[in-house]
Structure 1
Amino acid sequence: MTTKSAVPPTPSPGRARAALAAVVSTTLLLTSACAVANSGGGGDAGSADGDTLRVVLGQEPPTLEPCESSLTSTGVVVRSNITEPLVERDPTTGELLPLLATGWQQSAEDPATWTFDIREGVTFQNGEPFTAEDAAFTIDRAVNSDLACNVDGYVFGDMELTATATSDTRLTVTTGEPDPILPLRLSFVEIVPRTTSTEAKVREPIGTGPYAVADWQTGVSITLRRHDDYWGEAPAYATARYVWRAESSVRAAMIERGEADIATAIDPEDATEEHSVPYPNNETTALRLDGTEAPLDDIRVRRAISLAIDRDGIVDTLFDGEADPAAQLVPRGVVGFNDELSPTPYDPEAARALVEEAAADGVPVDRRITLIARNSQFPRVAETAEALQYELAEIGLNVRIRMTDTAAHLQYQLRPFPEDAGPVALLIMHGNQAGDAAFTASQYLLSEGPQSTFGTADLDRRIAEADATSGPDRQDAFADVLSYQDETVAQYAYLAHMRGLLGLAPGVEYEPDPATGDEMRLAEVRPAGDARAGDEG
């Protein structure tokens, strides 16, 4: 005889939303009080001397290692500032553009081989010339070494890849199987000199970008200096200085008081029309549910969690409407986005029924689930975690919250996951910077994906088949993958496609784009009125 777990009475959707609003209001009040109490210690990002661009981040980058720059907290400083790739993707149009490579071509005789023409006249920040040998070395270091680079798992997975310099200006890259999007993948590989260590990740990287690392005072600031021998247009500011403040209110206040020029991830309640700019980013928030641990190993419980989330309420109340309820891990504009998917409707009664059904079959639905979120992951992340905890409690699940720093969150985000952690619902924010669902699928959906807790053999097969396609077939194949994941695996309970708010001082001109949260290109920032800024601002 199966014992049914006891659960409290089901509230009506109207009562549930009212209660959620009360929880959110109380949390916001407490958070605001804490922010005001701590705001006096904010400090500034340096003097407004006109030569220094002062940027305040939500957190200190855990590393500046270029092969980790697909991590948002690292890439926002490193990518296109300190280092550069062979190819870059226009974040608005998706077009691939030449950078350290001036052109590329897939071999007609051997489709598994691509040839890249290397830009001449480029020097690293240590004065050494950049050649195809450096490009080959960098690719091998990032993909084939034992460094466990995030770019390896995120972008290349288990791909076999060989890079060879056939001359100083010619690079060939060969893959085990023909890869129709290899140039797109290589846009994530930030080039470093061939003298870079292959035994350990570097603290202060050398690259070909417009800025070089001048100083990193751990816990205090990172300072970049202009690379005077940069091959491209010289950036407007001689120096850039990054500091970090966890509270959005402090970051916003630093802009208003003239203590910073740019502030990332401003909360909606701290934004002002004068000092902040909204922009579409490519981030999607979701709960990743560990399907290897009870009760999350039961698909009924995972589906119940999705039904229990009031996405509209969270978007309206916590995100001030600056987001859209999500039905998949990729936003519109990414190859594979499925127009036919709709956000799971808010239905706590149906969710509770699924939990009760699972409990009747012996699933330990009262086992404590740990909801893990990262501080400064996105505006009002703590309040979002509180709202989710409340909503899941209302359907009979036992959830505790654990807020972490970046390093601790990464332990749960990337394989190998911590042992004996119990059932985990990890609050993630996934940004598909590349514009192709292959990067999402290989990372988050494959059974052994670097950021996936489980999957199925059939889903793995569908992903592999989709990854071999191109053109319209590719769009259809990955749209099918995303739909099939929801129907048969349900590893994710989606929240929202996010929009960002950037704090911007009146004295600078910068137009954020969908990639700003992942790579803020300092060379595109100009003093207000600078003729080189064109029509931006």
Structure 2
Amino acid sequence: MAAAAALPAAAPAWAQDTPTDVVIVLETQPDQLDPCQASKSQVGKVIKQNVIETLTEIDPESGQVNPRLATEWSQVDDLTWRFKLRDDVTFHDGTPFNAEAVKYSIERTMDESIDCEIRVKYFGGLTLEVTPAGEHEIEVKTSEPTPILPTLMGTVVAMSTATPMGEITREPIGTGPYRLEEWTPGQQIVLTRVDDYWGDQPEVTKATYIWRSESTVRAAMVAAGEADIAPNIAVQDATNPEMDFSFLNSETSRLRIDAEIPPLDDRRVRLALNYATDRDGMKGTIFSDKVIPSTQHVVPGINGHNPDLTPYAYDPEKAMELLAEAKADGVPVDAEIILVGRHNLYPNSQESLQALEAMYEAVGFNITLKMTEAAEWYDLLFKPYAEDRAPNLFQEQHDNNNGDAVFTIFVKYHSEGGQSTFADAEVDDLIDRGGQASGEERTKLYQEAFKRIHEEIVPDVSLFHMVGFTRVNPRLEFTPSIATNSELQLSEIGFNNS
């Protein structure tokens, strides 16, 4: 509690004005609040389903697709779906929510002149043609059969036609129960409740978001009553069972291997990295003892997850043998490899990389650790990659609570995926056929793709299915869930009477 004592005694500027105001302390400031970037966890925790809303809503526990701004849907033919829209909704700027607004929203999402993460992550390889079929009805035609389009619509957010096309905005205008009241960069973001929201009126009247990079400080602020929720605190700070919630979230961590650049273009080198990784040594120390060593970039329960894959064993001698074999064949295994990390990507993220750096150097790798801030990290995450880049391992954490591998496998592993670092015709074929299939065939094709990726291609060092820790002020009625790391719906927060 020393950290709590060090905090200022005077009431901070963000103190609750009324008992139904809340303060949420995040680990990092959002780099932007554009609706198109709501799939970024740092953006989604603030605006997704609060300021902006999706057409459908995916239950993170069951994967079931539920109505949100779209009330029902039906398949017209192999390529076309029809969606009926709510007729009692307006945007915060007073413009109507209707078919034309949804057409505009989808077209802006698919506009390649802006770096829209929703498009890159979820709609790679697809084109959409949107046609109003009445004031509150649309038809969406896809370039190839897409049997889970209603699920994909759970990622598409509605935005006012006043949102500029072709450029990023700092002022999201949505239909949600809250509007953006203030964003003072470096200080705070404030959302206020909308009185004429179309749905049930939430209890929270105002939410103020602030950010502190140190997990200890965030946890102490909640303990001291200066904040109400601190998502994503470190395991060593989750010490109060009355405030701290632990849950298996939908995040999976890995190191992405840049498999196009020597020496990482040699499969033996990529295998050596995996055999040199002591997952058991990091579990229960740097990471929670509840994390699950991973073999693929989707969590168990997601359609397409392959339960038959096993993590690579920790075998440093085998790693050294593979490196020696590669070196004998002329592979430049002594080349410097940059280990790229991001501050506060997850609790103890830098400490985990320091441990991995030591493991890799112990078997003969030449590793240099480079930590980045969020903006630089996001630039390096997506194509196009710099042509003159050094061989690198890229620290990443990926969230998929949407029920299907399509939200992961194309962007990460297809040759045309926005974050892929290799090209394999067989993997592409399995992903393409899986995306057009349904039922058991879809599951099987994705499982085959993950098997080939894990056992044959080896484009990453898969680490853990992660466990999240969130500290909640006892005055709130709120239980974090699998979705808390990517969206934090204020409408789910209540207040205790005591």
1:62-101 → structure 2 map (5 Å cutoff): 62-101=31-70
Structure 1 residue 223 and structure 2 residue 172: aligned?
A: no
Q: Which of 498, 502, 505 is the equivalent residue of 2:470?
A: 502
Give distance in 2, aligned partners of 1:41 and 1:390: 39
The residue type paired with residue 412 of structure 2 is Y
Give distance in 2, aligned partners of 1:122 and 1:398: 58
Structure 2: which 5+ residue stretches go unaligned? none
Q: Which of 114, 118, 132 is the equivalent residue of 1:165?
A: 132
Structure 1 residue 364 and structure 2 residue 332: aligned?
A: yes
After superposition, give the CA deviation of every residue in 1:362-388 in whole Å (9 maximum; x if it has no partner). Answer: 111111111111111111111100010
After superposition, give the CA deviation of every residue in 1:249-280 in whole Å (9 maximum; x if it has no partner). Answer: 00000001100000011101111212211122
Structure 1 residue 103 and structure 2 residue 72: aligned?
A: yes
8 Å contact from structure 1 (residues 295, 367) kept in 2: yes
After superposition, give the CA deviation of every residue in 1:67-115 in whole Å (9 maximum; x if it has no partner). Answer: 11111111111110110011000011110000001000001xx221100
Give distance in 1, aligned partners of 2:427 and 2:145: 21
Deviates more, 1:272-281 or 1:259-268: 272-281
TM-score relative to the length of structure 1: 0.90
1:353-432 → structure 2 map (5 Å cutoff): 353-432=321-400
Residue 435 of structure 1, CA deviation: 1.8
The residue type paired with residue 490 of structure 2 is L
The residue type paired with residue 307 of structure 2 is D
Give distance in 2, aligned partners of 1:514 and 1:471: 24
Residue 347 of structure 1, CA deviation: 0.7
Match of 2:404 in 1: 436
Residue 41 of structure 1, CA deviation: 7.6
TM-score relative to the length of structure 2: 0.96
Give distance in 2, aligned partners of 1:40 and 1:248: 14
The residue type paired with residue 98 of structure 1 is P
Q: Which of 289, 307, 311 is the equivalent residue of 1:339?
A: 307
8 Å contact from structure 1 (residues 39, 249) kept in 2: no
1:134-145 → structure 2 map (5 Å cutoff): 134-145=101-112
CA spacing shift, 1:256–1:38, aligned 2, 3 Å: closer
Structure 1 residue 50 and structure 2 residue 53: aligned?
A: no
Give distance in 1, aligned partners of 2:13 and 2:175: 25
Match of 2:171 in 1: 204
Give distance in 2, aligned partners of 1:287 and 1:36: 32
SS at match of 2:182: strand
8 Å contact from structure 2 (residues 3, 220) kept in 1: no
SS at match of 1:335: coil
8 Å contact from structure 1 (residues 411, 418) kept in 2: no
CA spacing shift, 1:145–1:394, aligned 2, 3 Å: closer
After superposition, give the CA deviation of every residue in 1:372-407 in whole Å (9 maximum; x if it has no partner). Answer: 111111111111000100100111001111111111
Give distance in 2, aligned partners of 1:408 and 1:148: 14
Give distance in 2, aligned partners of 1:405 and 1:111: 44
8 Å contact from structure 1 (residues 351, 395) kept in 2: yes
Give distance in 2, aligned partners of 1:270 and 1:478: 38
Give distance in 1, aligned partners of 2:47 and 2:388: 35
After superposition, give the CA deviation of every residue in 1:289-345 in whole Å (9 maximum; x if it has no partner). Answer: 001111111110101101111111111211131311111111101011101001111
SS at match of 2:133: strand
Moved over 4 A (4+): 35-45
The residue type paired with residue 251 of structure 2 is E
Give distance in 2, aligned partners of 1:334 and 1:317: 27
The residue type paired with residue 414 of structure 1 is F
Residue 167 of structure 1, CA deviation: 1.2
The residue type paired with residue 115 of structure 2 is A
Match of 1:16 in 2: none
SS at match of 1:153: helix
After superposition, give the CA deviation of every residue in 1:446-491 in whole Å (9 maximum; x if it has no partner). Answer: 1131111112122111111111110111111101100011222110
The residue type paired with residue 418 of structure 2 is P
After superposition, give the CA deviation of every residue in 1:398-455 in whole Å (9 maximum; x if it has no partner). Answer: 1111111111111211111234220110010011132211221111001131111112
Match of 2:118 in 1: 151
The residue type paired with residue 54 of structure 1 is V
SS at match of 1:167: coil
Give distance in 1, aligned partners of 2:299 and 2:89: 36
Residue 360 of structure 1, CA deviation: 1.1
Deviates more, 1:333-342 or 1:448-457: 448-457
Amino-acid identity (%) = 38
Give distance in 1, aligned partners of 2:95 and 2:361: 59
8 Å contact from structure 1 (residues 82, 207) kept in 2: yes
8 Å contact from structure 2 (residues 27, 211) kept in 1: yes
Residue 529 of structure 1, CA deviation: 3.6
Q: Which of 307, 312, 315 is the equivalent residue of 2:283?
A: 315
Give distance in 2, aligned partners of 1:200 and 1:229: 29
SS at match of 1:313: helix
Match of 2:444 in 1: 476
8 Å contact from structure 1 (residues 67, 149) kept in 2: yes
The residue type paired with residue 23 of structure 2 is R
The residue type paired with residue 524 of structure 1 is E
Give distance in 2, aligned partners of 1:114 and 1:336: 23
After superposition, give the CA deviation of every residue in 1:144-184 in whole Å (9 maximum; x if it has no partner). Answer: 45223111111111212111112111111001222101111
Structure 1: which 5+ residue stretches go unaligned? 1-31, 531-537
Give distance in 2, aligned partners of 1:356 and 1:36: 49
Q: CA RMSD in A?
A: 1.8
Residue 45 of structure 1, CA deviation: 7.0
Give distance in 1, aligned partners of 2:324 and 2:233: 40
Count of matched residue pairs? 495
8 Å contact from structure 2 (residues 203, 493) kept in 1: yes
